Amino acid sequence: MASEKICSILLFSAVILLLHGAPSVLAGDIVHDDDSTPKKPGCANQFVLVKVQTWVNGVEDAEFVGVGARFGRAIVSKEKNAKHTRLILSDPRDCCSPPKNKIVGDVIMVDRGNCTFTRKANTAQNANASAILIINNQKELYKMVCDPDETDLNIHIPAVMLPLDAGARLEKMLTSTSSVSVQLYSPRRPPVDVAEVFLWMMAVLTILCASYWSAWTAREAAIEQDKLLKDASDEIPNTKYSSVSGVVNMNVKAAVLFVVFASCFLFMLYKLMSSWFIDVLVVLFCIGGIEGLQTCLVALLSRWFKHAGEAYIKVPFLGSISYLTLAVSPFCTTFAVLWAVYRNNSFAWICQDILGIALIITVLQIVHVPNLKVGTVLLGCAFIYDIFWVFVSKKFFKESVMIVVARGDRSGEDGIPMLLKFPRIFDPWGGYSIIGFGDILLPGMLVAFSLRYDWLANKSLRGGYFLWAMLAYGFGLLVTYVALNLMDGHGQPALLYIVPFTLGTLMTLGQKRGDLKGLWRNGEPQKHCPHLRLENSGELSPE
């Protein structure tokens, strides 16, 4: 049963690592400046989301969200500066020719198609419209740009694209009531949101808890090995004193293969992204979350219910299970299933974060980086992986593959579930700040390794490596958030900043203290067996 559990955790941890590059924080749904679209005088606006508030017969009604065009007048950012303006339907609907109905400073609603966006805007402007709402022929928003050869770009009215469902509802309002008015404005996001602070704390505390659990287990195993070595008389155990039952030590080959598989799997997700694929990931997340939550609860409760944790019962198809595991399993399963059923509700992020944190802690307890060499290869490959799929992939696929997958842009869903998320509290657009599991798990392996080394080497907090590795991780993640805001909300791969800080700190300190060789190769302090002594001849013999 234990081996099956380890296999299931390792399988899901592989999926986490494959998806680790989800940008640390995506700025919700807002559309920002996109350098891949043409810019020219009169067509150089940034893409911004626009709130379209409606009033029906003077009574406030639904609010819709559109995206401003590259051309036209900039939309006001403050609601108090936005005027209530009457909304009318264009006749003809495509607005490719002058409207037949009289327009006096009204907002005109038109359908997409039959001519360019700029021609529609010019036609509406010449007909005395104060703004133009263009209804997309799909449910998604679309960035309205200018053709490279366009010259008639003297457009002084705002142009906004709305999705198909919003257009259908507005049309129903217009045909069934006597008066519909709208207010267009694009509120700005605050530079920093509390969500980013909470995500930072969640990531740091998760690594902190996982590191102490991992180090505690390793020290207990080392103490047991010491007892065996002291009591042994005829034979010497052939295992390292620091080995722990149920722990898998990663090697260099596995670290490289993780990244190779990651690229293949990410590309497959990019090509096959759909709602059913997201459902598969949800199922995988539930399985991993159940295992993680169960492992954490059993480890915690066994301190108080030791007998239940050590007494086992045979269960068909599952083998021997402790009574404590049997008791908590229904709760963990129910918790994960309820999250899966209600994952689109506003409160579901809490359950997702609990399952995710439990899973990350469990993986960090089971999968160990045995030395600095393996940690460097793993994080170095992940560093290159992040940069390629977030930034370089734009040159090959015209969009960031990592960001498309993380957001689930082609799935009709909210994105992959392998993320910690927190609602943006002071953001007028709402949405979530997110961080990928791997941005916690991968550097967390190195940080946990540093604490295991410190405890086994009996190093003090200041004289060891854990404190400085923890500070380096926290500072690297902080720099990620700063970069996110400086980059105007574009998704940033956290490992781009975290890896240099964590690896650089450990290597610099190790070199300065003379421990680098031991950290790099052995990953544990040298310890001589009490039953062996070094003879003058240089041979080892029993005492």
For the chain, how many residues are written?
Answer: 543
pLDDT confidence of residue 397: 83
Is 216's pLDDT higher than 50?
Answer: yes
**515 labelled catalytic:** no
The answer to which of 91-100, 178-187, 315-324, 407-416 has the lowest mean pLDDT is 407-416
pLDDT confidence of residue 143: 85
Given the residues 193, 439, 454, 515, select the one marked as catalytic.
439
* CA angle (242, 245, 246) in 5-degree steps: 125
Between CA 195 and CA 143 the distance in angstroms is 28
Which among 498, 221, 493, 269 has a CA at the least distance from the CA of 368? 221
pLDDT confidence of residue 491: 64
pLDDT confidence of residue 247: 83
Given the residues 386, 414, 454, 515, select the one marked as catalytic.
386
How far CA 157 is from CA of 6, 130, 175, 188, 194, in Å, comes to 62, 6, 25, 20, 36
pLDDT confidence of residue 293: 94
Question: Three-state secondary structure along 449-513?
Answer: HHHHHHHHCCCCCCCCCHHHHHHHHHHHHHHHHHHHHHCCCCCCCCHHHHHHHHHHHHHHHHHHH
pLDDT confidence of residue 353: 95
pLDDT confidence of residue 328: 93
Torsion angles phi and psi, residue 417, rounded to 5: -85, -5
Given pLDDT bands bounded at 50, 70 and 90, which one contains residue 36? low
pLDDT confidence of residue 161: 92
Q: What pLDDT, in 10s, does the model give residues 172-183?
A: 888 887 788 999
DSSP-derived pairing of the beta strands 319-322 and 312-315? antiparallel
Given pLDDT bands bounded at 50, 70 and 90, which one contains residue 4? very low
Q: What pLDDT, in 10s, does the model give residues 441-487?
A: 999 999 999 999 999 888 998 999 999 999 999 999 999 888 877 77
**226 labelled catalytic:** no
CATH number of 30-183: 3.50.30.30
CB 442 within 8 A of CB 495: yes
Average pLDDT over residues 190-205: 90
Given pLDDT bands bounded at 50, 70 and 90, which one contains residue 536? very low
Position 154, amino acid: N
Question: Where are the domain boundaries for CATH 3.50.30.30 in the chain?
Answer: 30-183
pLDDT confidence of residue 415: 65
Q: Which stretches within 181-274 are classed as H helix?
A: 194-231, 252-272
- Its pTM stands at 0.80
The answer to which of 14-18, 44-48, 209-213, 297-301 has the lowest mean pLDDT is 14-18
